[in-house]
Amino acid sequence: MTDMLGGLAQEVVSGIALGCIYALIALGFTLIYKATEVVNFAQGELMMVGAYVNFFIVTALLDIPMLDGALGFLLAFAGAVAFAFLFGTFLDLIINRPLKDEPVFSVIMATISMAIILRAVMALIAGPMTRLPLSPFGSGVIKVGGLFISVHDLFIISSAIVLVCGFYYFFNRTKWGIAMKATSEDPMAASLVGIPVKKVYRNVWIFSMVVATIGGVLLAPRTLLDTNMGFLGLKAFPAAVLGGFGSVPGAIVGGVIMGVIETVSMGTLSFYFPWVKEINDIVVWIVLIAVLMIRPAGILGREEIERV
Amino acid sequence: MLKLIGVEAFYGKIKALHGVSLEVPDGKLVCILGANGAGKTTILKSISGVVEPEMGTIHFDGVRIDRLDPEKIVSLGISHVPENRHVFPELTVHENLVMGGFLVREKSLLKVRLEEVFDRFAIMRERKDQLAGTLSGGEQQMLAISRALMLKPKLLLLDEPSLGLAPLLVQEIFATIKNLHQSGVTILLVEQNVNQALRIADYGYVLTSGKIFLSGTYEELRREEKVREMYLGEGKYVRRARLWGS
Ligand SMILES: Nc1ncnc2c1ncn2[C@@H]1O[C@H](COP(=O)(O)OP(=O)(O)OP(=O)(O)O)[C@@H](O)[C@H]1O
Ligand SMILES: [Mg+2]
């Protein structure tokens, strides 16, 4: 009995780590959605691109002595984030700006096309091989209480906490953060008080790309580096809906819950139903539908209150 | 100070302004009157850059502004309080005001401006930490005006500030506007409360279907039979109907 509980606790911890990554991707979705009302279906691919860029840099640094360990990983991480800045700017330039006054639907189609293109281009660059990037922490585990936690999972969870705190501070305490919120609430009023709305939109895309990159870099050693890993990013979508679409805390809570449900159901149900391959996915969607039936606005979402 | 010449503006294919020319001299309170859909809001939006005019020119303090971004125009000293307030509903009153002062670089100056606003509108200080969306209509209007004042504009554009307010609050808003005017702010006011607006205005323009149809001081406009009929409620229904048709 204690054994089963221990196993469950083990899976919950692992699920939280996975959920943190969903939360980061869902956060990216949510930021773009809130600011521009665009649902960015390329979010998972952005994560994939970020993970690959990081991997390329790590590989390139391997030949340099001193840089083949954690230091190299950190450098590659910084490099990937720098790339994310440029790529976010680029996305704003080719998706957001030209399609600014077009129907939201056109922009969504553009993000879907972008997703497909990114997968294809990355497959061309990286070749057909699936790779397993190593965590800079190796496969180390530490024992906390009766639980074994992989150092990498711990790294994921702590990075996510630091990032979320950073975001919280940014959006609630800094002028530019509040200006981003103001712009997503009312772009016209924002431009009338002198907020450079175009710049804010650009920053939103950059932000979203940076968060996706960090998510991808953290995720790759847990799963595999594959040009199709972006599909996993699609799970951040139900995560965002579960938490309450358009709510930033909702994206985070939804992501973590999603990760836990998925990991736990994978660990327990796959034992009883070994012939159902994607049993964890099924459970995730069932939970989503159940929550939406009880709370259509999601866990932390609010019904829109219109005041005229 | 502000001068529009032959301004034409479109929404898609719909022409909303058919060559509007008007002037707001330094220190004056000028009022634009007109029926619903006449294009009053469009004039203000063209000035503040939300709508880009297709034809004509707009000069402010000798600078041509009709091709500039709204952020640039507001930095020159024109603040626009839009129709229906447009406060940021999910931000607190304090955050709304800080956003009003977005272009103020020095923190200390921002503090001074905040204090000035709080001194002028005590209610804003009381409601400092309340979400703007939960304020009453009148309070939201006060907030929208306060937010615009954070930049100490030379020219204030006010679009129907009394819209949807109870009579007592309307009095208060007009008292506020008069007050601002007396403290030296140049104001371009759009109003449906024609009587009240003209009483505090130095000069008025009457707009019909995107064209300036009449202009003058309160006394001059009062003497115009058409203005009396259309806006001051002194005409007969039959004749008014004929006028709307024209
Ligand atoms: N966003 C828009 N898209 C299309 N047409 C518009 C838009 N905004 C205004 N119009 C049209 O332009 C014309 C002028 O509108 P405007 O809002 O300037 O009128 P207004 O004088 O401010 O009216 P009101 O007193 O009702 O506020 C109207 O015919 C209106 O239907
Ligand atoms: Mg109007």
Residue minimizing CA distance to atom 16 of ligand 1 = B39
For residue B5, give how far its alpha carbon lies from the nearest alpha carbon of chain A (Å). Answer: 23
- Judged against a pLDDT cut of 80, whether residue A259 lies above it is answered with yes
Q: 């968060």: which residue's tokens?
A: A211
- Judged against a pLDDT cut of 70, whether residue A233 lies above it is answered with yes
Q: With an 8 Å Cβ cutoff, are B70 and A192 in contact?
A: yes
Residue minimizing CA distance to atom 31 of ligand 1 = B37
- Judged against a pLDDT cut of 70, whether residue A52 lies above it is answered with yes
**Residues of B with Cβ-Cβ distance to A186 under 8 angstroms:** 86, 88-89
Tell me the mean pLDDT in the region A55-78.
Answer: 84
Tell me the mean pLDDT in the region A118-137.
Answer: 84
Tell me the mean pLDDT in the region A29-39.
Answer: 84
Give the containing element (helix H, strand E) for A290: helix A279-294
Instruction: Please name the residue of chain B whose CA is at the shortest distance from the CA of residue A189.
Output: B86
Q: Is B237's C-beta closer than 6 angstroms to any atom of ligand 1?
A: no
Residue A134 within any structural domain of the chain:
yes
Q: Is A185 in CB contact (< 8 Å) with chain B?
A: yes
Compute the distance between CA of residue A182 and CA of residue A264 in angstroms, rounded to an integer.
Answer: 39
In which domain, by residue range, is A108 found? 2-229
pLDDT attached to residue B132: 97
pLDDT confidence bin for A7, thresholds 50/70/90: confident
- 3-state SS assignment for residue A11: helix
pLDDT attached to residue B237: 47
Residue A306 within any structural domain of the chain:
no
pLDDT attached to residue B235: 47
CA A220, distance to chain mean position in Å, is 12
Mean confidence (pLDDT) of chain A: 86
Q: What percent of chain B has pLDDT over 90?
A: 78
Please state, as a whole number, how many other Cβ atoms lie within 10 Å of the Cβ of residue B102: 24
pLDDT attached to residue B232: 60
Q: Is B80 in CB contact (< 8 Å) with chain A?
A: yes
Q: Over the Cα atoms of chain B, what is R_g?
A: 18
- Judged against a pLDDT cut of 80, whether residue A176 lies above it is answered with yes
Q: Is B113 in CB contact (< 8 Å) with chain A?
A: no
Q: What percent of chain A has pLDDT over 90?
A: 40
Name which residue leads in pLDDT, B237 or B177: B177
Which tens digit of pLDDT belongs to each residue from B99-136? 999 999 999 999 999 999 999 999 999 999 999 999 99
pLDDT attached to residue B95: 97
ipTM entry: 0.90
Atom number, ligand 1, closest to the C-alpha of residue B43: 18
Residue A67 within any structural domain of the chain:
yes
Residue A136 within any structural domain of the chain:
yes
Candidate from A4-8, A16-20, A152-156, A246-250 with smallest mean pLDDT: A4-8
Q: Which stretches within B150-206 are classed as H helix?
A: 167-182, 194-200
Residue A30 within any structural domain of the chain:
yes
Virtual CA dihedral for B49, B52, B55, B58, nearest 10 degrees? Answer: 0
Tell me the mean pLDDT in the region A233-245.
Answer: 81
Tell me the mean pLDDT in the region B132-156.
Answer: 95
Name which residue leads in pLDDT, A130 or A175: A175
* Sequence letter at residue A61: L
Instruction: Please name the residue of chain B whose CA is at the shortest distance from the CA of residue A183.
Output: B88
Q: Ligand 1 center to residue B11 CA distance, Å? A: 9
Enumerate domains of chain B plus CATH numbers. Answer: 2-243 (3.40.50.300)
For residue A187, give how far its alpha carbon lies from the nearest alpha carbon of chain B (Å). Answer: 10
Q: With an 8 Å Cβ cutoff, are B89 and A194 in contact?
A: no
pLDDT confidence bin for A303, thresholds 50/70/90: low
- 3-state SS assignment for residue A221: coil
Residue A171 within any structural domain of the chain:
yes
Helix A43-61, helix A197-219: angle, nearest 10:
60
Tell me the mean pLDDT in the region A172-183.
Answer: 93
Relative to beta strand B186-190, strand B29-34 is parallel
In sequence order, the 6+-apart residues with CB closer than 8 A to the CB of A201 are A35, A36, A92, A96, A97, A183
Tell me the mean pLDDT in the region B23-39.
Answer: 94
First to last CA, chain B: 33
Q: Residue B198's closest CA among B217, B176, B223? A: B217
For residue B6, give how far its alpha carbon lies from the nearest alpha carbon of chain A (Å). Answer: 24
Q: Ligand 2 center to residue A107 CA distance, Å? A: 30
Residue A94 within any structural domain of the chain:
yes
Q: Ligand 1 center to residue B73 CA distance, Å? A: 22
Q: What are phi and psi of B93, to 5 degrees?
A: -55, -45
pTM to 2 decimal places: 0.87
Atom number, ligand 1, closest to the C-alpha of residue B14: 5
Q: Is B194's C-beta closer than 6 angstroms to any atom of ligand 1?
A: no
- Judged against a pLDDT cut of 60, whether residue B16 lies above it is answered with yes
What's the order of all strands across the beta sheet hosting B55-60?
B14-24, B2-11, B55-60, B63-64
Name which residue leads in pLDDT, A232 or B149: B149
pLDDT attached to residue A277: 66
- Judged against a pLDDT cut of 70, whether residue A283 lies above it is answered with yes
Q: Is B164's C-beta closer than 6 angstroms to any atom of ligand 1?
A: no
pLDDT attached to residue B238: 43
Q: Sort B73 into a burial class: Cβ within 10 Å, 0-12 / 13-18 / 19+.
A: buried
Asked whether the beta carbons of B218 and B29 are under 8 A apart, the reply is no
In sequence order, the 6+-apart residues with CB closer than 8 A to the CB of A38 are A32, A96, A104, A107, A108, A111
Residue numbers of A between 140 and 179 with CB closer than 8 Å to B? 175, 178-179
Q: With an 8 Å Cβ cutoff, are A182 and B100 in contact?
A: no
Number of domains present in the structure of chain A: 1
Residue A293 within any structural domain of the chain:
no
Q: Tell me the sheet residues that pair with A141.
A: A150
**Residues of B with Cβ-Cβ distance to A246 under 8 angstroms:** none
